[in-house]
Structure 1
Amino acid sequence: MKYYSDTAISKELKIRYANRSDIKAILSWLNNKKNLMLFQEFYLEDIEEWFDLSEKGKEKLFILSDDNLEFGFVSIVGIDQRNYNCQLGRLIISNESMKGQGYGTLVTQLLLNYAFEQLNMHKVSVRVGETNIASIKCVLNSGFRFMGRERDGLFRGEYYVDMLDFDILINEWNEFQKKLINNNPKVEFI
Protein backbone atom coordinates (compact mmCIF):
# COMPACT_ATOMS: atom_id res chain seq x y z
CA MET A 1 0.00 0.00 0.00
CA LYS A 2 1.35 3.44 -0.91
CA TYR A 3 0.35 6.74 0.64
CA TYR A 4 0.72 9.97 -1.28
CA SER A 5 -1.62 12.63 0.08
CA ASP A 6 -5.16 12.82 1.37
CA THR A 7 -7.38 10.50 -0.70
CA ALA A 8 -7.36 6.70 -0.62
CA ILE A 9 -8.72 5.11 -3.75
CA SER A 10 -9.68 1.54 -4.48
CA LYS A 11 -11.81 0.15 -7.24
CA GLU A 12 -14.87 0.46 -5.01
CA LEU A 13 -14.09 3.19 -2.53
CA LYS A 14 -12.47 6.55 -1.96
CA ILE A 15 -11.45 7.84 1.46
CA ARG A 16 -10.32 11.41 2.04
CA TYR A 17 -9.51 13.43 5.12
CA ALA A 18 -12.55 15.32 6.36
CA ASN A 19 -12.44 19.08 6.72
CA ARG A 20 -14.64 21.58 8.53
CA SER A 21 -16.76 22.12 5.41
CA ASP A 22 -17.99 18.52 5.92
CA ILE A 23 -19.45 19.20 9.38
CA LYS A 24 -23.04 19.67 8.18
CA ALA A 25 -23.01 16.39 6.21
CA ILE A 26 -21.36 14.47 9.08
CA LEU A 27 -23.95 15.77 11.53
CA SER A 28 -26.84 14.74 9.28
CA TRP A 29 -25.35 11.26 8.70
CA LEU A 30 -24.78 10.68 12.41
CA ASN A 31 -28.22 11.87 13.46
CA ASN A 32 -30.45 10.06 10.99
CA LYS A 33 -33.13 7.93 12.64
CA LYS A 34 -31.46 4.55 12.05
CA ASN A 35 -28.12 5.72 13.45
CA LEU A 36 -29.79 7.21 16.51
CA MET A 37 -30.87 3.67 17.37
CA LEU A 38 -27.16 2.73 17.56
CA PHE A 39 -25.49 5.91 18.79
CA GLN A 40 -26.22 8.86 20.98
CA GLU A 41 -27.40 12.09 19.38
CA PHE A 42 -24.55 14.35 18.28
CA TYR A 43 -24.44 18.14 18.24
CA LEU A 44 -22.50 20.70 16.23
CA GLU A 45 -20.20 21.25 19.23
CA ASP A 46 -19.32 17.52 19.27
CA ILE A 47 -18.24 17.55 15.63
CA GLU A 48 -16.28 20.77 16.07
CA GLU A 49 -14.48 19.21 19.05
CA TRP A 50 -13.52 16.22 16.86
CA PHE A 51 -11.93 18.60 14.36
CA ASP A 52 -10.10 20.38 17.19
CA LEU A 53 -8.72 17.01 18.34
CA SER A 54 -7.86 16.13 14.74
CA GLU A 55 -5.85 19.32 14.39
CA LYS A 56 -3.91 18.28 17.51
CA GLY A 57 -3.18 14.83 16.04
CA LYS A 58 -5.45 12.98 18.49
CA GLU A 59 -8.03 11.92 15.89
CA LYS A 60 -8.21 11.26 12.15
CA LEU A 61 -11.51 12.00 10.41
CA PHE A 62 -12.37 10.66 6.96
CA ILE A 63 -15.15 10.97 4.38
CA LEU A 64 -16.19 7.91 2.33
CA SER A 65 -17.31 8.11 -1.29
CA ASP A 66 -17.56 6.19 -4.52
CA ASP A 67 -17.39 7.69 -8.01
CA ASN A 68 -20.84 9.23 -7.66
CA LEU A 69 -21.40 10.48 -4.12
CA GLU A 70 -20.09 10.93 -0.62
CA PHE A 71 -21.87 8.43 1.58
CA GLY A 72 -20.18 8.14 4.93
CA PHE A 73 -17.82 9.06 7.69
CA VAL A 74 -15.24 7.16 9.74
CA SER A 75 -12.69 8.11 12.37
CA ILE A 76 -9.68 6.94 14.30
CA VAL A 77 -9.79 8.32 17.84
CA GLY A 78 -7.71 8.31 21.01
CA ILE A 79 -4.43 8.26 19.11
CA ASP A 80 -1.77 7.65 21.75
CA GLN A 81 1.72 7.99 20.27
CA ARG A 82 3.35 7.26 23.62
CA ASN A 83 1.74 3.81 24.01
CA TYR A 84 1.25 3.18 20.27
CA ASN A 85 -2.47 2.49 20.40
CA CYS A 86 -5.68 3.99 19.09
CA GLN A 87 -9.34 3.18 18.69
CA LEU A 88 -11.51 2.94 15.61
CA GLY A 89 -14.26 5.47 16.11
CA ARG A 90 -17.55 6.07 14.42
CA LEU A 91 -18.22 4.36 11.07
CA ILE A 92 -21.32 5.68 9.33
CA ILE A 93 -22.56 4.56 5.93
CA SER A 94 -25.46 6.90 5.26
CA ASN A 95 -26.70 5.59 1.92
CA GLU A 96 -29.03 2.65 2.51
CA SER A 97 -28.18 1.08 -0.86
CA MET A 98 -24.50 0.93 0.16
CA LYS A 99 -25.21 -1.00 3.36
CA GLY A 100 -24.67 -4.75 3.31
CA GLN A 101 -22.29 -4.47 0.35
CA GLY A 102 -19.06 -5.01 2.30
CA TYR A 103 -18.05 -1.35 2.55
CA GLY A 104 -17.95 -1.43 6.36
CA THR A 105 -15.53 -4.36 6.40
CA LEU A 106 -13.43 -2.83 3.63
CA VAL A 107 -13.23 0.51 5.46
CA THR A 108 -12.37 -1.22 8.75
CA GLN A 109 -9.53 -3.11 7.09
CA LEU A 110 -8.24 0.00 5.33
CA LEU A 111 -8.23 1.90 8.62
CA LEU A 112 -6.35 -0.92 10.31
CA ASN A 113 -3.74 -0.78 7.58
CA TYR A 114 -3.50 3.00 7.98
CA ALA A 115 -3.24 2.77 11.78
CA PHE A 116 -0.48 0.15 11.69
CA GLU A 117 1.49 1.39 8.67
CA GLN A 118 1.07 5.17 8.82
CA LEU A 119 0.45 5.87 12.50
CA ASN A 120 2.86 3.14 13.67
CA MET A 121 0.36 1.72 16.16
CA HIS A 122 0.93 -1.50 18.08
CA LYS A 123 -2.72 -2.05 19.06
CA VAL A 124 -6.06 -0.91 17.66
CA SER A 125 -9.26 -1.34 19.64
CA VAL A 126 -12.92 -0.74 18.94
CA ARG A 127 -16.05 -0.54 21.08
CA VAL A 128 -19.42 -1.58 19.65
CA GLY A 129 -22.93 -1.66 21.08
CA GLU A 130 -24.23 -5.22 21.28
CA THR A 131 -27.24 -4.31 19.13
CA ASN A 132 -25.03 -3.04 16.28
CA ILE A 133 -24.82 -6.35 14.45
CA ALA A 134 -23.39 -4.88 11.23
CA SER A 135 -20.45 -3.31 13.08
CA ILE A 136 -19.79 -6.49 15.04
CA LYS A 137 -19.58 -8.40 11.73
CA CYS A 138 -17.16 -5.79 10.29
CA VAL A 139 -14.94 -6.06 13.35
CA LEU A 140 -14.88 -9.86 13.42
CA ASN A 141 -14.34 -10.04 9.64
CA SER A 142 -11.29 -7.79 10.09
CA GLY A 143 -9.44 -9.98 12.58
CA PHE A 144 -10.35 -8.31 15.88
CA ARG A 145 -10.63 -10.44 19.01
CA PHE A 146 -13.37 -10.07 21.58
CA MET A 147 -11.92 -8.67 24.82
CA GLY A 148 -14.86 -8.05 27.08
CA ARG A 149 -18.24 -6.52 27.79
CA GLU A 150 -19.31 -3.43 29.70
CA ARG A 151 -22.76 -4.19 30.99
CA ASP A 152 -25.32 -1.40 30.48
CA GLY A 153 -22.62 0.79 28.96
CA LEU A 154 -24.90 2.94 26.81
CA PHE A 155 -28.33 4.35 27.65
CA ARG A 156 -30.68 4.52 24.66
CA GLY A 157 -33.41 6.65 26.19
CA GLU A 158 -35.60 3.75 27.29
CA TYR A 159 -33.13 0.92 27.78
CA TYR A 160 -29.45 0.12 28.27
CA VAL A 161 -27.14 -1.58 25.80
CA ASP A 162 -24.02 -3.55 26.67
CA MET A 163 -20.83 -2.34 25.00
CA LEU A 164 -18.50 -4.95 23.48
CA ASP A 165 -14.74 -4.36 23.37
CA PHE A 166 -12.47 -5.80 20.66
CA ASP A 167 -8.81 -5.30 19.81
CA ILE A 168 -6.10 -6.42 17.42
CA LEU A 169 -2.32 -6.27 17.72
CA ILE A 170 0.01 -5.54 14.82
CA ASN A 171 1.32 -9.13 14.67
CA GLU A 172 -2.28 -10.44 14.59
CA TRP A 173 -3.12 -7.98 11.81
CA ASN A 174 -0.06 -9.08 9.81
CA GLU A 175 -1.16 -12.72 10.10
CA PHE A 176 -4.75 -11.84 9.21
CA GLN A 177 -3.58 -9.88 6.15
CA LYS A 178 -1.90 -12.98 4.73
CA LYS A 179 -5.38 -14.47 4.38
CA LEU A 180 -6.55 -11.34 2.54
CA ILE A 181 -3.82 -11.13 -0.10
CA ASN A 182 -6.10 -12.01 -3.00
CA ASN A 183 -9.19 -10.33 -1.58
CA ASN A 184 -7.83 -7.04 -0.26
CA PRO A 185 -7.89 -4.27 -2.90
CA LYS A 186 -4.88 -2.07 -3.48
CA VAL A 187 -5.54 1.35 -2.02
CA GLU A 188 -3.46 4.43 -2.55
CA PHE A 189 -3.56 7.86 -0.98
CA ILE A 190 -3.08 10.26 -3.87
Structure 2
Amino acid sequence: MRTFGFGELSEQVLMQSLLAIRDPKVDRDFRNEFADDDDRHQAFVRTEAALGHVIDYLRDEAGIPHVKLVPYALYIPVLARFMAVLGPPQGRAAELLRRWIWRGAVLGVAPQGNTVGLRQGAAAVHTDPLKSAQRLLELLPPPGQWKPDISQIPLNRAQAKVNILGLLSLAPRHLSHDRFGEPIDAAQLLESGGR
Protein backbone atom coordinates (compact mmCIF):
# COMPACT_ATOMS: atom_id res chain seq x y z
CA MET A 1 0.00 0.00 0.00
CA ARG A 2 1.65 3.21 -1.21
CA THR A 3 -0.25 6.20 0.00
CA PHE A 4 -0.15 9.82 1.08
CA GLY A 5 3.47 10.34 -0.08
CA PHE A 6 4.60 8.42 3.01
CA GLY A 7 6.06 5.41 1.22
CA GLU A 8 4.91 1.84 0.91
CA LEU A 9 3.60 0.06 3.98
CA SER A 10 4.59 -3.60 4.02
CA GLU A 11 1.98 -6.35 3.78
CA GLN A 12 2.95 -7.44 7.28
CA VAL A 13 2.29 -3.98 8.74
CA LEU A 14 -1.02 -3.77 6.86
CA MET A 15 -2.10 -7.18 8.16
CA GLN A 16 -0.99 -6.39 11.71
CA SER A 17 -2.87 -3.10 11.55
CA LEU A 18 -6.08 -4.76 10.41
CA LEU A 19 -5.79 -7.41 13.12
CA ALA A 20 -4.94 -4.87 15.83
CA ILE A 21 -7.96 -2.76 14.94
CA ARG A 22 -10.27 -5.76 15.27
CA ASP A 23 -8.72 -7.26 18.41
CA PRO A 24 -5.49 -6.71 20.41
CA LYS A 25 -4.44 -10.37 20.00
CA VAL A 26 -2.56 -9.64 16.80
CA ASP A 27 -0.78 -12.97 16.39
CA ARG A 28 -3.90 -14.89 15.39
CA ASP A 29 -4.40 -16.63 12.03
CA PHE A 30 -5.39 -14.08 9.38
CA ARG A 31 -6.96 -16.76 7.14
CA ASN A 32 -9.80 -17.34 9.63
CA GLU A 33 -10.39 -13.67 10.40
CA PHE A 34 -13.50 -12.83 8.40
CA ALA A 35 -17.07 -14.09 8.62
CA ASP A 36 -17.77 -13.25 4.96
CA ASP A 37 -16.84 -10.95 2.08
CA ASP A 38 -18.76 -8.02 3.56
CA ASP A 39 -16.89 -8.40 6.87
CA ARG A 40 -13.58 -8.46 4.95
CA HIS A 41 -14.53 -5.38 2.93
CA GLN A 42 -15.58 -3.41 6.02
CA ALA A 43 -12.35 -4.36 7.80
CA PHE A 44 -10.26 -3.14 4.85
CA VAL A 45 -12.18 0.15 4.66
CA ARG A 46 -11.79 0.74 8.40
CA THR A 47 -8.08 -0.11 8.26
CA GLU A 48 -7.45 2.22 5.33
CA ALA A 49 -9.16 5.11 7.13
CA ALA A 50 -7.21 4.45 10.34
CA LEU A 51 -3.90 4.25 8.47
CA GLY A 52 -4.63 7.60 6.83
CA HIS A 53 -4.92 9.12 10.30
CA VAL A 54 -1.76 7.30 11.45
CA ILE A 55 0.23 8.70 8.56
CA ASP A 56 -1.10 12.22 9.19
CA TYR A 57 -0.18 11.90 12.87
CA LEU A 58 3.31 10.52 12.24
CA ARG A 59 4.06 13.19 9.65
CA ASP A 60 2.39 16.23 11.23
CA GLU A 61 2.66 15.57 14.97
CA ALA A 62 5.63 13.23 15.41
CA GLY A 63 7.79 14.76 12.67
CA ILE A 64 8.35 11.49 10.79
CA PRO A 65 8.01 12.26 7.06
CA HIS A 66 8.33 8.75 5.59
CA VAL A 67 7.75 5.13 6.55
CA LYS A 68 11.46 4.37 6.08
CA LEU A 69 12.17 6.63 9.06
CA VAL A 70 9.62 5.12 11.46
CA PRO A 71 11.94 3.79 14.21
CA TYR A 72 9.85 0.66 14.93
CA ALA A 73 7.25 -0.86 12.61
CA LEU A 74 4.99 -1.81 15.53
CA TYR A 75 4.12 1.88 15.99
CA ILE A 76 1.90 1.73 12.91
CA PRO A 77 -0.48 -1.10 13.95
CA VAL A 78 -0.73 0.20 17.53
CA LEU A 79 -1.51 3.70 16.28
CA ALA A 80 -3.96 2.23 13.73
CA ARG A 81 -5.84 0.63 16.62
CA PHE A 82 -5.78 3.92 18.50
CA MET A 83 -7.17 5.84 15.51
CA ALA A 84 -9.86 3.25 14.74
CA VAL A 85 -11.02 2.77 18.34
CA LEU A 86 -10.57 6.27 19.78
CA GLY A 87 -10.13 8.59 16.79
CA PRO A 88 -7.23 10.92 16.06
CA PRO A 89 -5.63 12.04 19.34
CA GLN A 90 -6.06 15.58 20.55
CA GLY A 91 -4.32 17.69 23.18
CA ARG A 92 -2.55 15.82 25.95
CA ALA A 93 -3.22 12.39 24.41
CA ALA A 94 -1.49 13.50 21.18
CA GLU A 95 1.45 14.80 23.21
CA LEU A 96 1.78 11.55 25.19
CA LEU A 97 1.63 9.45 22.03
CA ARG A 98 4.42 11.56 20.56
CA ARG A 99 6.40 10.98 23.76
CA TRP A 100 5.73 7.22 23.50
CA ILE A 101 7.10 7.22 19.95
CA TRP A 102 10.26 9.14 20.77
CA ARG A 103 11.03 7.51 24.12
CA GLY A 104 10.36 4.13 22.57
CA ALA A 105 12.71 5.00 19.71
CA VAL A 106 15.63 5.57 22.06
CA LEU A 107 14.81 3.10 24.85
CA GLY A 108 13.45 0.27 22.72
CA VAL A 109 9.69 0.04 22.40
CA ALA A 110 9.58 -3.76 22.52
CA PRO A 111 12.27 -5.16 24.82
CA GLN A 112 10.43 -8.52 25.00
CA GLY A 113 10.27 -8.77 21.21
CA ASN A 114 8.12 -7.35 18.44
CA THR A 115 5.15 -9.74 18.77
CA VAL A 116 4.86 -9.28 22.53
CA GLY A 117 5.35 -5.52 22.21
CA LEU A 118 2.71 -5.30 19.49
CA ARG A 119 0.22 -7.37 21.49
CA GLN A 120 0.82 -5.35 24.67
CA GLY A 121 0.62 -2.05 22.80
CA ALA A 122 -2.63 -2.97 21.06
CA ALA A 123 -4.14 -4.21 24.35
CA ALA A 124 -3.26 -0.90 26.05
CA VAL A 125 -5.52 0.99 23.64
CA HIS A 126 -9.15 1.05 24.76
CA THR A 127 -11.91 3.20 26.27
CA ASP A 128 -10.13 6.54 26.73
CA PRO A 129 -7.49 8.33 24.58
CA LEU A 130 -5.54 9.88 27.45
CA LYS A 131 -5.47 6.72 29.58
CA SER A 132 -4.53 4.64 26.53
CA ALA A 133 -1.58 6.93 25.76
CA GLN A 134 -0.52 6.74 29.42
CA ARG A 135 -0.71 2.93 29.35
CA LEU A 136 1.50 2.87 26.24
CA LEU A 137 4.11 5.01 28.00
CA GLU A 138 4.02 2.69 31.01
CA LEU A 139 4.96 -0.25 28.75
CA LEU A 140 8.33 1.32 27.92
CA PRO A 141 11.46 0.31 29.80
CA PRO A 142 12.52 2.76 32.52
CA PRO A 143 14.67 5.64 31.34
CA GLY A 144 18.32 4.82 31.63
CA GLN A 145 21.54 6.45 30.65
CA TRP A 146 20.76 6.78 26.96
CA LYS A 147 23.52 8.28 24.87
CA PRO A 148 23.13 9.14 21.23
CA ASP A 149 25.29 7.19 18.81
CA ILE A 150 25.79 9.36 15.76
CA SER A 151 27.86 6.66 14.09
CA GLN A 152 24.66 4.69 13.40
CA ILE A 153 23.63 5.25 9.78
CA PRO A 154 22.02 2.07 8.34
CA LEU A 155 18.28 2.62 7.94
CA ASN A 156 17.52 -0.77 9.46
CA ARG A 157 18.47 0.56 12.93
CA ALA A 158 16.22 2.66 15.15
CA GLN A 159 19.14 4.82 16.33
CA ALA A 160 20.04 5.71 12.74
CA LYS A 161 16.45 6.77 12.10
CA VAL A 162 16.49 8.90 15.25
CA ASN A 163 19.73 10.50 14.03
CA ILE A 164 18.27 11.29 10.62
CA LEU A 165 15.03 12.61 12.10
CA GLY A 166 17.04 14.84 14.40
CA LEU A 167 18.90 16.28 11.45
CA LEU A 168 15.66 16.73 9.50
CA SER A 169 14.16 18.66 12.41
CA LEU A 170 16.70 21.39 11.62
CA ALA A 171 14.97 21.95 8.23
CA PRO A 172 17.95 21.36 5.91
CA ARG A 173 18.03 23.13 2.56
CA HIS A 174 19.39 22.32 -0.88
CA LEU A 175 22.89 23.50 -1.69
CA SER A 176 22.82 22.75 -5.40
CA HIS A 177 22.97 25.76 -7.71
CA ASP A 178 19.59 25.19 -9.35
CA ARG A 179 17.69 24.66 -6.05
CA PHE A 180 19.83 26.59 -3.60
CA GLY A 181 18.03 27.43 -0.38
CA GLU A 182 14.90 25.37 -1.09
CA PRO A 183 13.79 23.13 1.79
CA ILE A 184 14.67 19.47 1.33
CA ASP A 185 11.61 17.24 1.00
CA ALA A 186 12.78 14.15 2.90
CA ALA A 187 9.83 12.02 1.82
CA GLN A 188 10.45 12.81 -1.85
CA LEU A 189 14.17 12.16 -1.42
CA LEU A 190 13.51 8.77 0.17
CA GLU A 191 11.00 7.86 -2.56
CA SER A 192 13.43 8.74 -5.32
CA GLY A 193 16.28 6.80 -3.72
CA GLY A 194 18.31 9.93 -3.04
CA ARG A 195 18.45 11.19 -6.62
Q: TM-score, normalised by structure 2?
A: 0.28
- Report the structure, 1 or 2, having the larger helix content: 2
- Report the structure, 1 or 2, having the larger strand content: 1
